[in-house]
Structure 1
């Protein structure tokens, strides 16, 4: 929850967070990010930005 004292994350912060999450997911599954289905990446980005904008 964002309060007046808590700055809202910047778009770059959200993108960096998604990239880090993708890296962790891929390492856990033993695959490369480039091997992920585009739909998986799109869903993660979409949900991250919905939360960011929410």
Structure 2
């Protein structure tokens, strides 16, 4: 299982959640697809980078 974490330039780590429930992906490919879609939507500030972490 995988999750996506947003890491700021100040090393602040933020978990992604919907309705206060952390987003967990069954496969790396699912997480990567979501990460790419989020990048395309350009919704995060420039000082954050999204990374995929295995649980």
Larger Rg: 1
The two structures have a TM-score, normalised by structure 2, of 0.37
From the two aligned structures, give the one with the greater helix fraction.
1
The TM-score with structure 1 as length reference comes to 0.38
| Larger relative contact order (Cα-Cα within 8 Å, sequence gap ≥ 6) | 2
Structure with greater strand percent = 2
